[in-house]
């Protein structure tokens, strides 16, 4: 574990960093999470090393930069979810470590490790659950308080090969039968991104099998045999999660303009009902790979893959300068001519520059 050279009886590593060390996983480059029994803000202000980057008074958290590493200090705190599905309200800062861990998601994430003497503090049976590979929530209302924990459970189960503990599974099923849609979609989106950006088919399989999609829509999931994980491995994309979820109803999410374009382009492709495949090909040329992959998964695998493998490579050799050299004056016929040549090239990719020049001459002769 990345060691912070801070000895204080009130300081504990908390959450993922402790879990991952006990699992024997390699250290992540991620930020270090530390909890302080008391006020982390006061503690950090008096620390005398590093620099404070950000303070959040409401949550009693401080982000510090110490020896070129970011460390997130959190005060021990109690919370209540007065509005279920939304950010909780802090009711006490500086509570006991035990009270702090009890507000967390799963027992395996509720482990603490003392910076003072390296002792592991396990109030909820997290060590046993790590051994048994189980994800167990800490109280019956956990998913009602924070439904994003269902996606977190999905993510952790695939990352670590864990299963939901029996009662947790039942409580998840019960919640999914009656989802409260008034929730913080920003947090839900972040968790969905994290889970699906793992690019593991298993995430989608579980999402569907366990009906987790009900968190975002009642609409039944359109089944597909296509393996999305393999497609994304082959045709790398910037936004893998959207290739998995682009066919779902995402209207409650605050999508970025790029994400919105991926979805609207995919819809635009699906709405094309003409017979002329060249026209469809031209539409493909304007969209990102994510939209093409969605089309491959849900509409026409062969055409989309043929596009990615071959058709996307088609490029015209001639330019406007070549047409001018042939003696033609630049006007709107130039773009018509390029379109005409592209159509020929769509039928026969092997056309050379000379072939293209001949086709251009024919085109202008026929005008
Ligand atoms: N946590 C929680 N409920 C949430 C989000 C987070 O209880 N909805 C708690 C968990 O104790 C978690 C810690 O906050 O361990 C830190 O959260 P996060 O950084 O999202 O996850 P990690 O567990 O650190 O896992 P990783 O970063 O490896 O995904």
Mutate to test the pocket of ligand 1, among 109, 193, 197 (most ligand atoms within 8 A of CB): 109
Residue nearest atom 29 of ligand 1, based on CA coordinates? 16
The Å distance, Cα 39 to ligand 1 centre, comes to: 20
| Structure confidence by residue, pLDDT tens digits, 255-309 | 999 999 999 999 999 999 999 999 999 999 999 999 999 999 999 999 999 999 9
* CATH H superfamily, domain 1-127: Beta Polymerase, domain 2 (3.30.460.10)
| 66 has a pLDDT exceeding 60 | yes
Question: What is the band of 2 on the pLDDT scale with cuts at 50, 70, 90?
Answer: low
The Å distance, Cα 109 to ligand 1 centre, comes to: 7
> Would you state the pLDDT for residue 132?
98
Domain ranges of the chain: 1-127, 133-225, 257-313, 320-365
| Structure confidence by residue, pLDDT tens digits, 77-136 | 999 999 999 999 999 999 999 999 999 999 999 999 999 999 999 999 999 999 999 999
The Å distance, Cα 194 to ligand 1 centre, comes to: 12
> Would you state the pLDDT for residue 138?
98
Q: Please spell the DSSP secondary structure of 160-182, one letter per residue.
A: HT-EE-HHHHHHHHHHHHS----
| Structure confidence by residue, pLDDT tens digits, 199-243 | 999 999 999 999 999 999 888 777 788 999 999 999 999 999 999
> Would you state the pLDDT for residue 4?
83
CB 77 within 8 A of CB 59: yes
The Å distance, Cα 178 to ligand 1 centre, comes to: 25
Provide the percentage of residues in the chain whose pLDDT is more than 70: 99
| Structure confidence by residue, pLDDT tens digits, 305-346 | 999 999 999 999 999 999 999 999 999 999 999 999 999 999
Q: Is 148 in the pocket of ligand 1 (CB under 6 A)?
A: yes
Per the listing, tokens 């579980």 go with: 206
| 5 has a pLDDT exceeding 90 | no
Q: Is 88 in the pocket of ligand 1 (CB under 6 A)?
A: no
Tell me what the pLDDT averaged over the chain comes to: 95
Per the listing, tokens 């490790």 go with: 113
Q: Is 229 in the pocket of ligand 1 (CB under 6 A)?
A: no
CB 71 within 8 A of CB 89: no
Residue nearest atom 21 of ligand 1, based on CA coordinates? 16
Per the listing, tokens 């090239």 go with: 345
| Structure confidence by residue, pLDDT tens digits, 163-175 | 999 999 999 999 9
> Would you state the pLDDT for residue 116?
96
Provide the percentage of residues in the chain whose pLDDT is more than 90: 92
Mutate to test the pocket of ligand 1, among 80, 105, 153 (most ligand atoms within 8 A of CB): 105
The Å distance, Cα 1 to ligand 1 centre, comes to: 17
- Residues 6 or more apart whose CB falls under 8 angstroms from that of 39 comprise 60, 75, 93, 94
> Would you state the pLDDT for residue 1?
56
> Would you state the pLDDT for residue 221?
72
Tell which CATH architecture fits domain 133-225.
Orthogonal Bundle (1.10)
Q: Is 145 in the pocket of ligand 1 (CB under 6 A)?
A: no
Q: Is 16 in the pocket of ligand 1 (CB under 6 A)?
A: yes
> Would you state the pLDDT for residue 8?
94
């Amino acid at each position: 574990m990345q060691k912070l050279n801070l000895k204080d009886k009130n300081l504990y590593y908390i959450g993922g960093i402790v879990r991952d060390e006990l699992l024997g996983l390699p250290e992540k480059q991620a930020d270090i999470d530390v909890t302080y029994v008391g006020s982390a803000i006061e503690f950090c202000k008096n620390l005398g090393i590093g620099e404070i980057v950000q303070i959040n008074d409401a949550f009693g958290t401080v982000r510090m930069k110490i020896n070129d590493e970011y460390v997130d200090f959190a005060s021990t705190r109690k919370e209540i979810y007065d509005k279920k599905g939304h950010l909780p309200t802090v009711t006490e800062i500086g509570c006991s470590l035990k009270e702090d861990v009890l507000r967390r998601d799963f027992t395996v994430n509720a482990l603490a490790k003392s910076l003072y003497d390296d002792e592991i503090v396990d109030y909820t049976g997290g060590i046993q659950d790590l051994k048994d590979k189980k994800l167990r929530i800490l109280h019956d209302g956990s998913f009602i308080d924070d439904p994003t924990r269902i996606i977190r459970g999905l993510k952790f189960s695939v990352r670590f090969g864990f299963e939901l503990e029996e009662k947790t599974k039942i409580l998840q099923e019960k919640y999914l039968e009656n989802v409260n849609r008034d929730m913080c979609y920003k947090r839900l989106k972040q968790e969905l991104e994290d889970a699906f950006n793992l690019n593991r088919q298993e995430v989608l399989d579980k999402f569907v099998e366990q009906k987790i999609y009900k968190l975002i829509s009642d609409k039944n999931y359109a089944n597909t045999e296509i393996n999305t994980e393999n497609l994304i491995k082959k045709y790398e994309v910037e936004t893998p999660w959207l290739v998995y979820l682009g066919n779902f109803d995402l209207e409650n999410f605050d999508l970025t303009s790029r994400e919105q374009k991926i979805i609207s382009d995919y819809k635009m492709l699906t709405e094309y009902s003409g017979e002329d495949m060249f026209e469809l090909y031209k539409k493909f040329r304007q969209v990102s790979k994510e939209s093409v992959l969605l089309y491959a998964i849900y509409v026409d695998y062969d055409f989309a893959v043929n596009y990615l493998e071959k058709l996307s490579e088609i490029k015209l050799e001639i330019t406007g300068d070549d047409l001018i050299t042939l003696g033609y004056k630049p006007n709107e016929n130039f773009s018509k001519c390029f379109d005409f040549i592209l159509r020929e090239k769509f039928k026969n990719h092997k056309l050379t520059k000379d072939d293209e020049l001949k086709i251009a001459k024919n085109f202008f002769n026929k005008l």
